[in-house]
Structure 1
Amino acid sequence: MRAQKPWLSLINKIKLIVMVVITVCLWAVFIAVQVPWMQGIVVWLAAITLATFIVSVSCATLEQGLDALELGLQNFKDGEFANQLTYQRADQLGWLCTLYNQTAEQLRREKQWIHQRELMLDKVLESSPQALLLINSNGVVVFSNLSARDLVMSNTRIEGLHLNQALEHAPAELQQAIGSAQDGLFNILNTSEEVQTWHLSTGQFLLNNQHHKLFILKQLTRELNRQEVAVWKKVIRIISHELNNSLGPMSSMLHSGKILSQGLNEPRLQRVFATIEERIKHLTAFVQGYGKFAKLPPPKLELIDWQSLINELAQQWQFVAPDSVPSSACYADNMQLQQLLINLLKNAHESGSCADKICLTIETQGRGVIVSVTDGGQGMSEQVMANALIPFYSTKATGSGLGLALCREIVEAHHGYLSLHNIYQQTEVVGLQVKIFLPCSDLPTQQCDSQV
């Protein structure tokens, strides 16, 4: 409720009291000594004028201080704490003004600190990878961050819109999950035909005496993939350990058997030994291949020379090279990147595609590089595409199921992502495209120092 300024100020009240006291005293004296009424009026007016003048002069400093306090409190009311009072007299009012100035300075510092914290909080919330939606009791969006606007496919701010309007262009799975308002996991098929796993958590609280609901959506696709790969690596290490424990004695016994059978002229025995040796070599290569996946070292970042990399790949595989390469600096592990592209080009040739249909493209996109390998093969069915990146999964009779899994591991070690897309001509699949996004981050300072 807004306070109203009283019509009679303190100084005017003092003047009125003085006038009343003088009037009562003078008329009592006039009555006692029987002063003529004309003279009494003149004396009374002179006394009133003199008293008013004396009170005005005496209370001028008091009025100045009170006006200063009034102005300062008006500033407080408007949330302005930067102004200071200039009343500096050594009296009680001066002490009040000094106390006011000290309070204003403290409030100004606290306001500045709170403002900085609000800016920091707003920056954190706006740039958070988690999608945040705050809805009031009327179902209107009062806050959304950038991730939330991207998730609901909105190019503009959605504050002030009803939740149903804000979700109008959002995926149906997201609308259903938010509509149920229950914590849990759900999947979204994005525009790149990738299945993303999201976790929704909700909360309710009072804000400005009004009930609000907060939706927090976190993408778990990468985390689930990381956990899945970690489990597979553990299984691979156990299998590799057991196989190595058996292959060592088998190789030793095979060598001993060859020595003991040197005097025997038995061709069938030689074929048995040759078969066993061939299978031991195959199992050894098998174990080494899986061990390479399970123990992939962290990438050693260096500046990538795309043209040199393309020339090296062209010596091993036939493909249509890109017309141009990105000019922006990109840091990655050159050996791992080369192994990644070798695997993809090998798969493209094994897809049954003609060599002139296999294309490698490299282009800049945002703060990263998109590397694509396209072939003219038969593409992938939904079931194969859903399992293609899982270790051990292969549709080839002699495949190890490690090629694409190793590619994904290399890409994610560089904080990028890999995706598979069928190429359609009308309704017929005419090929497969593998897309890789690599962020073009600067080389870390500590790594630069170590390389220097």
Structure 2
Amino acid sequence: MARSLSLQLRLTVLLVVVGIAGALIYTGVTQWPLPQLIVWMKKDLSLVVPMPTGPYSGFIVTLIVLLPLSLWLGHLVMSPVNRMLRALEGAVASYRDGDFSFSIAADRRDELGDLIRMHNALGQTLREQRQNLAQRELLLDTVVQNTPVALVLSDASSRVVYANIAARHLFNDGKSLQGLDFAELLQSTPETLRRAALSGEDALLTVEMDGSEETFHLSQRNFRLQGRPHRLQLFRRMTRELSRQEVATWKRVIRVISHELNNSLAPISSLSHSGAELARRGDTERLPGVFATIGERARHLHGFIAGYASFAKLPAPQATKIEWPQFLQGLALHCQFRLVGKVPEQPGWFDAAQIEQVLINLIKNAHESGSADDQVTLSLAVIGHELRIEVADHGPGMTEIVLAQALLPFYSTKRSGTGLGLALAREIAEAHGGRIALANRDEGGLRVTLLLPLMLV
């Protein structure tokens, strides 16, 4: 498509034409042929004709003739531009109202034509994006509506803006929740669920519904939607999942206990039979060894059962003020470690017996990693309102899979391990209001961090 003259060139030509026309009119009025024509009319026709004299008269006459010409030429040039601007104004208003179907039909080969084509391309892009967005919204709505998690979106006045099918069945017998007051709907729910939903906090709760217990995990978030505050609440039924996890945990416990019992009872049974046979033969010299082995396996089995009992019957911690020199001296009597850094001036606040047991287990694990005795370190530090205790080694560390499961009860990578050491440490830390974390060190080895709250003075 050949490109026509640009707007700038057209305006330049128009100004040149007007300028030339003005010069010709001024010359015609002041120089030729108007003065000669007036002289001829006065001389030959004896007519009285006024004669414009001076440059001002010519200038005034030029303006009188040139002004209508300029207006006509300006209208001729600006008329399509004005039509185009009105069309663009209508298109922008349509876009503002969310209507992207507006397009401009014009066949121009100048700057305005380029602007029109860019506008139409923009409209096509917006229409395609809106269509894709509508399809995504439809897909998202389908997924959300059919998820088993009950979803309720309410505004600042507690009116339900959006709710999926699971939420309708949970709160309104399958009927729509749109526009209803969610706080009023909660009045017909169990007290535990109502308090949790109105608290604004995440919670794991068990309520009685339809004659049975249901466990829910509640997630709540506040955010702004279109500039207005809203609250999103997710009610997830956890009963079936928790039941599956409980069954899986019990199966793991049964496997561990069965394995350990078989490892102890099988040799005890065999040794008892051998001892009886030796007694029958009168061979009493070998009987003490048989009885010693039976006693050893019995003691191992007793320790194994005692470990499970201590985990299941962990008493509530009795936190007291802890002076570090005495505590570290007592810990050094049970295990070997190298103290790194300074001891905090502020005393600790925890159950000395329970935390000592935790540290003994952690230091023992560090030694079992293959680290040298002087490579097992213990460090103490006060961070804010928390006490940080770290046990580090220079062993091989843990894989990501082991790190993710090491704190779970009955999980162990050792053939003879019970999987209770780290789980017991986690249980004691959480009972103190603290937490425990495992991480591989950059320089090699594992670092176990125990964080405990400090007593506020």
| TM-score, scaled relative to structure 1 | 0.43
Q: Which has the larger radius of gyration?
A: 2
| TM-score, scaled relative to structure 2 | 0.43
